[in-house]
Amino acid sequence: MRPVGSKYLLEEPLGRGATGTVWRARQREAAGAEAAVAGQPGETVAIKVLKEELAQDPDIVMRFLRERSVLLRLTHPNIVRTRDLVVEGDLLALVMDLIDGPDLHKYVRENGPFSPVAASLLTAQIADALAASHADGVVHRDLKPANVLLDERHGQMKPMLTDFGIARLADSPGLTRTHEFVGTPAYVAPESAEGRPQTSAVDIYGAGILLYELVTGRPPFAGGTALEVLHRHLSEDPQRPPNVPEALWIVIERCLRKEPDERPSAESLARGLRVVASGIGVHSSPAEVEAALGVGALLAPDPSPAPVPATPGSADPTQVLPAGAPSPMGAYDPNAMTSVMPPVGGGDATTVLPSTGAPAADATSVMPPVERPDQPHPWQSQMQAARDRNEQTQVQYLGPDDDPLRRRPQRQAPPPPQQPPYRQQPQPYQQQQYAPQPPQYQPPQPQYRQPQPPPQQPQYRQPQHQPQAQPPQQQPQYRQQPVRPQAPPPQQPAPREPREPRRRSANPVRIPGLGCLKGCLVMILLFFVAGWLVWELTPLQEWVGTGKGWWDQLWSWGSDAADWISTIGDSAGKARS
Ligand SMILES: Nc1ncnc2c1ncn2[C@@H]1O[C@H](COP(=O)(O)OP(=O)(O)OP(=O)(O)O)[C@@H](O)[C@H]1O
């Protein structure tokens, strides 16, 4: 058992998500005054220990501390209560109420879809939770069945919305330094997918998808790839499945409107769903049936939806990239996985705003709204981050064979003469990755989280994204995003002209040792010339007493040497005979 802070002991892991691992834990002693719930020694709690890379990120630690009060104050019967936040060394953890029951995704997978009445009543409670958080200025932005726990303690199934805080904590510019970010393609609202301004209406869209899935067992927009899902969110109208009653379909269809302004408020959604539940049961009275069919009149849009302020320098966590699907060409789990994207800044996942109804409790947690149109598109940030990562200097050990300073020169094949200049005529993929980008657009370079779905979902694990497999025809629609003038993406250095290939001599044949031989010959020649000059130009001849010239003297020395050698040869022959 591992201690968390001085107050908690981790007992066993309950599950693992994109941002950390949830543990069943026990309270050792009552928490301090800073905790929302002091708790009693021996009490069981759930603790989400955030991933190390999040915990080691100063931005996230700051945010964690800054938003402590917001997380702790968010209480509702259908929201999993955050009891305490622990920061200890490199460890960041959220202490929550332990919910005894599966999450909705797991439940539907194991038990099949809910009846329309049960699905309506369940979603009505989730809408209650959303209404409360929206009134407090908090937008969840990652609503999906996996984030709804079913509390089965009292013979009833009570949905409990969780992960309010996590997306918000993880959503920070610090994430540009981790290799991941969070978003779930199957549940992402069109405006999030497009990088348009977001409001609490994104949660209503998520609720509509969730409701559809509860009654059918699958989300409305599926596809083989995340890009396909994204495209369907943006362009397709959902089709009414045969088992969905008309009244319920009216609600779902309203929630799934592409225009956020046309979606109902959380409060009117909850009310409408209860009216529908009463009117679609087998024992419903004619009046209840009629009221249910007229539910459209109840689904009033939110007059003042809570806006989602952007975090400067961050991207949108729910932004749908081919996320959750490491390869856009591969299948992915549309239901349960919070997708992870390339390191980017994060936008604010569950955002704290000045309360529309009540005053904001924590001024430090209120983010000033930032004009979305001025910001670079999230994909631009992702591309930039990927580029920055690629270009940074790496310090690493090089073996003798790899070290260019130690390596012996290798003969290299000359480059093929017809090879086009790399930067001038890039292939489509090369252009995406390396070519200099105009400031207003840097093409998406989606990468995805290392697949970490819960162990029960191995079929959803994906291989790494292969960028060249990306269908090119789906990209242009994201290229028109405006640029934030005050924080333009860093200018790319001007592309360097490709170097001309080195000119080689006409005769490329190399003779080993030729350089050394040449040197020796030159030295001999120099010595010879120097000797001749000294002999001829100095009084050396007279000193030696010969009076001969250079050549005569040389000849005489040569003759003396030959005589000496023949004398030695003769004396050796006589000795033998
Ligand atoms: N308060 C809690 N009580 C009991 N079980 C919990 C609690 N919170 C989470 N769990 C369980 O722990 C597991 C992991 O939760 P987590 O929120 O990390 O998963 P997730 O929603 O799939 O993650 P993510 O949204 O980051 O992808 C889930 O199976 C969930 O059922």
pLDDT tens per residue, range 443-452: 333 333 333 3
Whether the predicted pLDDT of 291 surpasses 80: yes
Q: Look at residue 497 in the predicted model and tell me its pLDDT.
A: 56
pLDDT in tens, 71-104: 788 889 999 998 988 888 778 888 999 998 999 9
Question: Residue 512's pLDDT band (boundaries 50, 70, 90)?
Answer: low
Q: Which of 11, 14, 448 to mutate to test the pocket of ligand 1 (most atoms within 8 A of CB)?
A: 14
Question: Residue 427's pLDDT band (boundaries 50, 70, 90)?
Answer: very low
**Given the CA of residue 163, which atom of ligand 1 is nearest to it?**
17
Is residue 277 within a helix (H) or strand (E), and if so which, with residue range?
A: helix 266-279
- Read off the DSSP letter of residue 422: T
Whether the predicted pLDDT of 357 surpasses 70: no
Does 19 sit in the ligand 1 pocket, CB within 6 Å? yes
Residue range 261-289: average pLDDT? Answer: 97
Q: ipTM value of the model?
A: 0.96
Three-state DSSP class for 37? coil
Does 148 sit in the ligand 1 pocket, CB within 6 Å? no
Residue range 376-401: average pLDDT? Answer: 34
Whether the predicted pLDDT of 553 surpasses 80: no
Does 340 sit in the ligand 1 pocket, CB within 6 Å? no
Selecting among 142, 203, 302, 333, the annotated active-site residue is 142
Closest by alpha carbon to 150, among 214, 61, 246? 214
Question: By the 8 A CB rule, do 382 and 343 touch?
Answer: yes
Start-end of H helices in 405-513: 428-433
Highest mean pLDDT among 46-55, 385-394, 423-432: 46-55
Closest by alpha carbon to 46, among 18, 19, 79, 8? 8
Residue 208 CA: distances (Å) to CA of 1, 4, 150, 446: 41, 38, 18, 27
Residue range 464-493: average pLDDT? Answer: 35
Q: Look at residue 514 in the predicted model and tell me its pLDDT.
A: 64
Dihedral over Cα of 267, 270, 273, 277: its sign: negative
Q: Look at residue 459 in the predicted model and tell me its pLDDT.
A: 30
Instruction: Tell me the longest C-alpha to C-alpha distance in the chain.
Output: 146
Task: Clarify whether 142 is annotated catalytic.
Answer: yes
Does 295 sit in the ligand 1 pocket, CB within 6 Å? no
Whether the predicted pLDDT of 408 surpasses 60: no
pLDDT in tens, 30-74: 777 777 777 778 899 999 888 888 788 777 777 777 767 777 888
Question: By the 8 A CB rule, do 129 and 143 touch?
Answer: no
Q: Look at residue 355 in the predicted model and tell me its pLDDT.
A: 30
User: Alpha-carbon distance 396 to 405, whole Å?
Assistant: 14
Question: By the 8 A CB rule, do 172 and 90 touch?
Answer: no
